[in-house]
Structure 1
């Protein structure tokens, strides 16, 4: 019986060496997206400058398909994630407190955002300096209402599916399925609560839902891998169809929206993060993939799967809590669309039509911005929120039509601001209640955080399935 000597083990590295060939250079995910962004700008410029209608239409179609893929996967992802997260909170006695604090922080940052919008509007007078003819303005066909909240939370069917009908330029009507994300949240909460009430008999259903969540999470990542292509198509379509020539008459208003959202992004959010012991740089590095995609896609709901992924994988928020907070934030946390924008737009419309606003009106703007987003949560677009603001103030709804021409251009920064807030508040609340993996959060670097999203599917599956129920409960339990 001979012992293993250094001489005996020496040949092993020599045998392994030939099998290790040179690795192919791998382009990081963030670099792929930026390449797609640059390619999209070039293609959009070519389509617009040389009047290539076929290219513009191709970009629009490809971008629309990509966003539609994300929206489709949102339905099962949100539903299963919420059911599983509630099932994992069996032992938590103060989960309501966690949800309440999330909503409070939503309101705090929304109030700060609307103050930014009002202040900019008063300083720059965007409506008084606009060159628009108000005589041709028309009111929108649908306006926001405070009763929308009541109707939007009651599901019309099991999955909250709806059918929307629209007319194309030729007048032909087309119908397409749509869904109400708030109704999905309500359904998920109801089904999760029912599993808790049923108890042990619901275990097969919970296990099936947990498995389905893993499958849908993998599907989401496959779609997200198409982001470079989707980014190129979306930004290319925006450049080809809108360009920048529409900004002239409302240049001050457009600049105000971008500056206001930038202040929220780069001043308000960092203050909130720093006040809760979080590095703003680490936050933006971790959340950047979702913020960047939101800018080009102009869809908070379309970005929701990516937002959920960066919140858990990059920012280190407990998966169970994130399953609640992120979908709710996607429906009610809209600092760009529901705070900065309606405040500036209301002031602009009032100045265009010669209506003087008083202190009470500005307080109403703040109230609508903080509370009103819930009233329009089941609807889409900042236009609905704007009509709710204008109707509450008694301002002419015809002013909405004047702002629609540049809406796609300013919607990019609005949506990026929305998504940043939807990622920040769950992170802050998780930090305050011990639900944040600070090692993951503090490891974020620009580029490095993107790489974390590129984990092998096997690695992702293992990381998800290895959280036993007891471990999940201990991570989600909130100190009294």
Structure 2
């Protein structure tokens, strides 16, 4: 009896896109966005420019939508899970110590590049008509901004520092109450998994978001905007690259005894996502996953990674403010002395939490400028090119958030070296959901 011929149908366009490696999708979005932005600018196609801006804005809004519940639940769970970590206090102290060490190295590189290249000299930029930011970014503002006056407002206005404070207090209270607070911990773990799953859907839209964000920048500003900021832009990219590929590699090799190449193989998905999303918090689920896949015990990673996503900012809080401060000072013809450079280093290490893992580092910049007594109007000079600078800054931030727990775990002798030496890449081809309770019980394996 004859059988019906087998149905042969070519894969749909959507299926082909899904099979395309994620990094290829990102690069395609980058190139296509730049091309469409250039077309919108040169041909004066207003509807195209508006469309690109809308696509980029929606992508950023979706990332920011996940920030309050993600930051709160991630830190609550990570603090509560310290009860499962041996020598938790020592690990926390060593994590903070390595945060400070790498930040000092990064700010040193930023200051060195600034002094060598003088990014603000000869820029011929006019500062007439520029206004200072509404928030001065003073130390008083920073310190008082940590403590919320209203719990609801902290979440509705996305005051990340206040959310972090509330989460730490809640996690500590759960530790204190023990079994009585178990229902609250279970709820926090469930919400964390839910938010991570929803955020993964947004992450999958990164190629489209990249297209809109890059397209909007090119359509609005064009390439000519970079000319007066060329030295500063190159300095920031070179400085971040030196930290990302140089400093971190040396620390992994000599402080942890690990092969740096394996780090980049395993951590690259998080680094590339940070580059296009410009959000350390938005990248958090992927950052945590690659950290565990590189052999860091799950119970320690569940603390170090969320904590680092809100406080560990070598790009935004070390390299960028040091170079930007020198740039602004030179534009205004203000001389900086040794005391000023020491203040920049101090602000970079102590005030890095001011960036709070969101896109942009304006708060950190205003904090640095106000500490040095530099004109806050200088912030307005840098706003136009901030998205371009923020891509490399955030990639460096996230790389540092992975490197630190790896170094600490290696020096503590708890890292799974077999997993580290055989990274599977943590490809962005499957959902990123990390059950907090499961990851808190045993180290992740590749």
Fold similarity call, TM over 0.5: yes
Q: Helix, strand or coil for the counterpart of 2:197?
A: helix
Aligned counterparts, 1:253-292, within 5 A: 253-275=232-254, 276-292=256-272
Q: Helix, strand or coil for the counterpart of 1:354?
A: coil
Aligned to 1:148: 141
2:40 to 36, 40, 47: 47
Say whether the 8 Å CA contact 2:299–2:439 is kept in structure 1: no
2:23 to 30, 38, 50: 30
2:286 is the alignment partner of 1:306: yes
Shift in CA distance, 420/178, structure 1 to aligned 2, threshold 3 Å: farther
Q: Deviations over 1:30-67 (max 9, x none)?
A: 33333333322222222223222222222222222222
Shift in CA distance, 178/441, structure 1 to aligned 2, threshold 3 Å: farther
Deviation at 1:111, TM superposition (A): 0.8
Shift in CA distance, 105/51, structure 1 to aligned 2, threshold 3 Å: same
Shift in CA distance, 242/293, structure 1 to aligned 2, threshold 3 Å: farther
Aligned to 2:119: 126
Q: Deviations over 1:104-153 (max 9, x none)?
A: 11111111111111111111122223222344444333221112342232
Say whether the 8 Å CA contact 1:129–1:252 is kept in structure 2: no
Deviation at 1:465, TM superposition (A): 7.8
Q: How far apart, CA to CA, are the structure 1 residues paired with 2:130 and 2:364?
A: 19
Shift in CA distance, 430/239, structure 1 to aligned 2, threshold 3 Å: farther
Q: How far apart, CA to CA, are the structure 2 residues paired with 1:267 and 1:148?
A: 35
Shift in CA distance, 376/222, structure 1 to aligned 2, threshold 3 Å: closer
Aligned to 2:370: 391
Aligned counterparts, 1:76-225, within 5 A: 76-92=69-85, 94-158=87-151, 161=154, 177-225=156-204
Say whether the 8 Å CA contact 1:67–1:302 is kept in structure 2: no
Q: Deviations over 1:80-100 (max 9, x none)?
A: 333333443335463122111
1:467 to 432, 435, 438: 438
Q: Helix, strand or coil for the counterpart of 1:302?
A: coil
Deviation at 1:267, TM superposition (A): 1.2
Say whether the 8 Å CA contact 1:59–1:233 is kept in structure 2: yes
Structure 1 segments unaligned to the other structure (5+ residues)? 1-17, 163-176
Q: Helix, strand or coil for the counterpart of 1:301?
A: coil
Aligned to 2:395: 416
Say whether the 8 Å CA contact 1:183–1:378 is kept in structure 2: no
Task: Please report the TM-score for the alignment, with normalisation by the length of structure 2.
Answer: 0.86
2:431 is the alignment partner of 1:449: no
Say whether the 8 Å CA contact 1:73–1:220 is kept in structure 2: yes
Say whether the 8 Å CA contact 1:270–1:280 is kept in structure 2: yes
Q: How far apart, CA to CA, are the structure 1 residues paired with 2:421 and 2:40?
A: 43
Task: Give the aligned length.
Answer: 433
RMSD (CA atoms): 3.1
The structure with more radius of gyration: 1
Aligned counterparts, 1:240-255, within 5 A: 240-255=219-234
Q: Helix, strand or coil for the counterpart of 2:351?
A: helix
Deviation at 1:308, TM superposition (A): 3.0
Shift in CA distance, 438/44, structure 1 to aligned 2, threshold 3 Å: farther
